[in-house]
Amino acid sequence: MVYSEDEMLMLSGIQHYVFCPRQWALIHIEQQWEENRLTAEGELLHQNVDNPAYRQKNGGVVTLRRVAIASRELGLTGFSDAVELLPSNESTNAVRHPKYPGYWKLVPVEYKRGHVKPDKRDEVQVAAQALCLEEIYHICVPTGAIYYGEEHTRRTIAIDEPLRQFTRQCAEEMHQIYQCGITPRAEYKAHCQSCSIKDVCMPKLSSRCTVEAYLKTNLYEETT
C-alpha cells in the first residue's frame, strides 16, 4: 500500500507505539502530552543535535544533522537526528552528495537521553529511518546506530529482515488505529511509572473499567 501525503503519520511516533499503543494514540490522536524530567532531558539533548545547517566531517565520515525523510510505503514522515555518510569505493548502494565528491553509504543515527531499553522501540525508530532512506535513494541501508547520552555509548543496529517486518507491522497498525480513531484501552505494566502521560492515561483505572462506568460511578448522580 502507498499512502497519500494527507495520510502520513509522524515517524517519531513509532517509538511511542512500540512502548505502548495507548500512549501513542493519546499523543498523536487525542493530542495529550505532559512533559516530565525524562522528556525534558531528551529534548535538551536533541537541541544540541537538531541543527540542519550543521555538518561535521571526522576521519572521512560526514555527519548531516536533522535530515528530512519520508516513506509512502510506511506512511511515515519526519526527521533523522543525523545521517552519517561513509566513503565508498563503489556506487552500489551508495549515493552522491552535491558538496562532497565521491560515493557515500548512509547510516541513520538516533540520539537518546537514557540507556538501552528492554524492548525494541529504539531499534524500530532507526529501522524506520533506514527504510525511508532506502525508499528515497533506492539503495539498501543495512545498519543504523543509536547513541545513548546517559551511558555515552553507541550501538550499531543491524537492519535485518525480522526488524524490517516488525517495523512495517507497527506502521500498519498505527494507521489502522489512526483511521478508526479509537484509543486502545490501558494495560497497566511496570513501564507505566516512567510514562510521560501516566496522569492523563490513568492506566490502573483504565485497565479496570470503561470511561462510561467511571463517570457513572463517580460523577453522575442517579435520579429517582
Contact criterion met (CB below 8 Å) for 28 and 10: yes
Model's pTM, two decimal places?
A: 0.82
Between CA 177 and CA 174 the distance in angstroms is: 5
Domain ranges in the chain are 5-183
The single-letter code of the amino acid at 26 is L
Residue 43 banded pLDDT, cuts 50, 70, 90:
low
Residues 6+ apart with CB under 8 A from 50: 65, 66, 79, 81
More confident residue, 191 or 51: 191
The single-letter code of the amino acid at 106 is L
Between CA 20 and CA 195 the distance in angstroms is: 9
pLDDT tens readout for residues 54-106: 567 778 999 999 999 999 999 999 999 999 999 999 999 999 999 999 999 99
Element (H, E) at 72: none
pLDDT given for residue 113 in this prediction: 86
The CATH class given to the 5-183 domain equals alpha beta
Supply φ then ψ for residue 154, to 5 degrees. -125, 130
Contact criterion met (CB below 8 Å) for 135 and 73: yes
pLDDT tens readout for residues 156-202: 999 999 999 999 999 999 999 999 998 888 888 888 887 888 888 88
> Judging by beta carbons within 10 Å of its beta carbon (0-12, 13-18, 19+), is residue 145 exposed, middle or buried?
middle
